[in-house]
Structure 1
Amino acid sequence: MDEDVFYADCPHCDRYEFRDEDAWFEHVSMCEWEQQQDREREEEE
């Protein structure tokens, strides 16, 4: 049985295949948060 793949670009990284729209939304939110953390860490150095 073929699994459906939801294609959508993450604006924060190169990933574009997700299980479904919810998985995509969750990934984008986490990815955005992680990049925010990285920026804050860089500013502290």
Structure 2
Amino acid sequence: MTLRVVEISDGLEGLPGHEPRPEGVAAAGSHSSDVVHVSATTRLG
């Protein structure tokens, strides 16, 4: 069995060099978003 975990969250304001998203760019996953997905896949068993 393979397990894949994906994390999508906001809260990047505390990172050095962070700039607020431009007007018209949403946080929702779409072509006009700035969301970063972090994921990992592992084989179980």
So what's the TM-score if we normalise by structure 2?
Answer: 0.27
Q: Which has the higher contact order (CA 8 A, sep 6+)?
A: 2
Structure with the higher fraction of residues in helix conformation: 1
The structure number with the bigger radius of gyration is 2
| TM-score (normalizing by structure 1) | 0.27
